[in-house]
Amino acid sequence: MTLDITVVGGGIAGLTVAAALDRAGMRCTVFEQVERPRAVGAGLQISPNAARLLHRLGLEQYLRATAVRPEAIELRRWDDGRVLGRTALGDACEKLYGAPYYTMHRVDLYEGLLQLAAPYVRFGCRIDSVTQREVGDGIVVGADGVHSVVRATLTSDRPRFSGQTVYRALVPSAAAPWLRREPKVAIWPGPGRHCVCYPVSGGSSFNIVATAPAETAHAEWWTTPATREELMAAYSGWDEDLTRILDASMQVTRWSLHDRDTMTRWGSGRLTLAGDAAHPMLPFLGQGANMAIEDACALAACLRRDGPGESTEAGVTEALRRYESRRQIRTERVHQASRENARTLHLYDGDGQRKRDAAVDEAHNLRNRSWLFGHDAEEP
């Protein structure tokens, strides 16, 4: 029988699901509530575990033309910029893991995926609820983010406020010539907050992600405006190289950071989840989009192995449960590592901070990232 697959949500997760299903010989319909194609946000880090999957979907040439392949990730001392540790990327990363590490603008990734998935997307279609009865003989994939209405079919949990707000901004590349000469991901961990800076848009600008503690949550929209003055005040007294970059910020936005506890089950019957709908996580490991891409390709692989043209009802359900069980193990580890980074990146100066800094070289050795970068979500 032919599978009738509905995907709720047309963001990074939903578009990748559609592209992966298409590659596997299956069609779907993606329902997206916005009226027209629109990507918001700023930068993304695409590590080899997701880059290899995007290459297989047909985006290798596109990514090499639009993204940046940084040479390293560097951790820097918050007050004087001293390099604490370095993870080699560039050729070394691509040789070791068979795929590059990219930094790019979210809009660029969205547009690349939309080129692959456009025939399947229906814009201006809002889904307010889903019931098991409505799923019927089809498959429903909830890819509708942290506030997922599909997830609400399975659990009554709510997003958890992390106690952190995050500022995002783009900065002209001229503001950081030392980052332009050798493209890299620079991270300043410090007391109660941290800042990340990396090149996007082919290197023409840098993306800023700067966290700060907050007692209460505020609006969660990507486009909630903030000011450069707010951002500068949050990092007063920090490394001069960093504050010069922040002072060049354009169109600063801010929103509260939320995640949810992990779920014991992602699906029921012919309903399942992908991306932030399944495992919304804090951005402190840079893996949110990467996990969504992994989910999408793993889901398509599980359904493909079941034989979509001759699937039985039991076989399809088993394929969905197989997908979920595999992905739960993987995303649980990444979810917890992201929460742990929320602690270790924000240590105040003292014994804990010194212990962290002494272990940086081992923790950030490229080979020690194999559990993350070397994973292939399409393998059985």
DSSP state of 84: E
Residue 239's identity, in one-letter code, is: D
Residues labelled as active-site residues: 198
CB-CB neighbours of 64 under 10 Å: 12
* Strand ranges (E), 289-349: none
Tell me if 47 sits within 8 A of 101, measured CB to CB: yes
| Residue 211 near residue 365, CB atoms below 8 Å | no
Q: Residues 280, 119: contact at Cβ < 8 Å?
A: no
Q: Please state whether 145 falls in left (phi above 0), alpha (psi between -120 and 50) or beta.
A: left
Q: Strand 5-8 vs strand 29-32: parallel, antiparallel, or unpaired?
A: parallel
Q: In the beta sheet, which residues pair with residue 160?
A: 259
Question: What does the radius of gyration of the chain's CA atoms come to, in whole angstroms?
Answer: 20
Task: For residue 157, give the 3-state DSSP assignment.
Answer: coil
Instruction: Give the DSSP H/E element, type plus range, for residue 5.
Output: strand 5-8
Question: Who's near 167: CB < 8 A, 6+ residues apart?
Answer: 208, 209, 210, 211, 212, 226, 230, 231, 234, 252, 253, 254
| DSSP-derived secondary structure letter, 268 | B
